[in-house]
Amino acid sequence: MSHKKRNFGDIEFGESDEVGGATVDVNGEDDFENDDEVESFEDDEQSFEEVEDGEEGGEEGGDNADGEEKGPKKVWRAGVDPLEEDEVLDYDSTAYDMMHSMSVEWPCLSFHPIKDELGAQRNKYPHTMYLVAGTQADEAKNNKIVIMKAKQLHKTKHDDEDSDEDDEESDDDEESDDEDKDVDPELQLAFINHNGAVNRIRSMDQQSNIVATWSDNRSVYIWNIANHLKALDNETVAPKQTAPLHTISNHSIEGYALDWSAKIAGRLATGDCNNNIFITNASDSTWKTDTQAFKGHTESVEDIQWSPSEEKVFASCSIDQTVRIWDIRKPKPAITVKAHSADVNVISWSRNVEYLLVSGCDDGSFRVWDLRAFKDNSPVSDFKYHTGPITSIEWNPYEESQVIVSSSDDQVTIWDFSLEEDTEEFANANANPDDDFQYPPQLFFIHQGQHDIKEVHWHPQIPHVAISTSIDGFNIFKSSNSEE
């Protein structure tokens, strides 16, 4: 049996200005009721690099200690260019339509956007969103489920160099929103005490107040957070001592694989580090877990995805380098494919093109698969850009040709498979005579500034807005080259 930990590696637990390893910025941020564990929420403070249809927008350089310009700015390429001691990464606000960062008491390995009743395809600023996350604290007793409401998420205030032409093109609504860009975002939190660190957390599609958590104590818990969401809206305090609706105790060891079915409400698949997968179903007012495990993987099950179209079909991936397709009417996999030459960490099954699946590997590569011709080492596309393990991957629900990827190389990347190499922008992006580095033509955007990134998700109701979690907190962003 192989078993690897996905936890944050080097958290320094101390009593200084750092709480739980996540740096706390207290630059006059708004205070909230019951905010002893609310740390900070700030705008536009990230280093990054952008590729827009093959054209980079990140910059390197900056002022020295005396405030003098050190030299011409240039694009800094993660994993390629060194960063000298006297160099810093500058943030170019024009790369983002929206960019906010926030911190909570302890870093969160996993989180999930919560579907709300504010409407779908929301494009008008400012935005409001709800998230649920799980912590990795210094001691098991200090762990929590964190329910978050972030509001007043305005468009990014661009640098003063914005052209007059851009200003003239702004309509009345945009001008009105521009006047509010200096309004601070607001963050409200509610908590549920959780037994053990939260390895993974997911909200049910059909009933978003129902949440499942994988604990490192080898239990899976199912929770109802309806009262906590209501407390956030009413600005009241929800009880921290909340019992789970149900505890799944079938697993003999902890795990990370966890997914709710999009077709059948209350159907949950969980996979552990002993290679076993169990299915749990809501049954009237109770929950029932099948006693027979789904067995087929020879090493730890790392991720699970239900089919977006077939209620009895799901996919799984494993350290054993395979992706397997299952029919829950049979205990053994229907299809087994050797997908990579190293651990397969994550998978995502497209809900827009139901025969497409993407997998992310420990060697930094990710592959796109056509399930109509699913065979060993026969991906539709194979991308080898990242220099660290892929930690999260997800199809864009509003753009069928895009995926977002996070890696332990401290980058979040957006890829658009519809982009081609024979464009002038792409040629300019790679016109560096000093080295052989080439940007892949499908690389749409690079977001940086976080460390030890664990998960990234698209918001299901706000097009092209992404959220990521890392050891130093959360980022909420939308790239300026996104389509509305």
For the segment 287-305, what is each residue's pLDDT rounded down to a tens digit? Answer: 999 999 999 999 999 999 9
Residue whose entry in the numeric block shows the structure tokens 């052989």: 436
Sheet architecture: strand order including 210-215: 198-203, 210-215, 220-224, 246-248
Residue 212 pLDDT: 98
Q: Is the per-residue pLDDT at 433 higher than 80?
A: no
Residue 161 pLDDT: 43
Q: Report the 10 Å Cβ neighbour count for 384.
A: 12
Please, which pLDDT band fits residue 422 given cuts at 50, 70 and 90? Answer: low
Amino acid identity at 446: I
For residue 336, give the DSSP letter.
E
Q: Of the given ranges (16-25, 95-104, 145-154), which has the lowest mean pLDDT?
A: 16-25
What pairs with residue 214 in β-bridges? 200, 220
Q: What is the pLDDT of residues 309-337, one digit of tens each?
A: 999 999 999 999 999 999 999 999 999 99
Nearest alpha carbon to residue 198 among 140, 288, 134: 134
Residue 301 pLDDT: 98
pTM equals 0.85
Reduce the DSSP state of residue 267 to 3 states and report it.
Answer: strand
Please, which pLDDT band fits residue 71 given cuts at 50, 70 and 90? Answer: low
- Contact present, 219 and 117 (Cβ < 8 Å): no
Residue 49 pLDDT: 38
User: How much is the average pLDDT of 166-181?
Assistant: 50
Sheet architecture: strand order including 144-153: 108-114, 127-135, 144-153, 186-193
Amino acid identity at 454: K
Q: CA-CA distance, 166 to 28, in Å (whole number)?
A: 32
Q: CA-CA distance, 293 to 307, in Å (whole number)?
A: 19
- Contact present, 238 and 245 (Cβ < 8 Å): no
Share of the chain above pLDDT 70, in %: 76
Q: Is the per-residue pLDDT at 51 higher than 50?
A: no
Q: CA-CA distance, 429 to 52, in Å (whole number)?
A: 9
Residue 110 pLDDT: 98
- Burial of 142 by CB count in 10 Å (0-12 exposed, 13-18 middle, 19+ buried)? middle
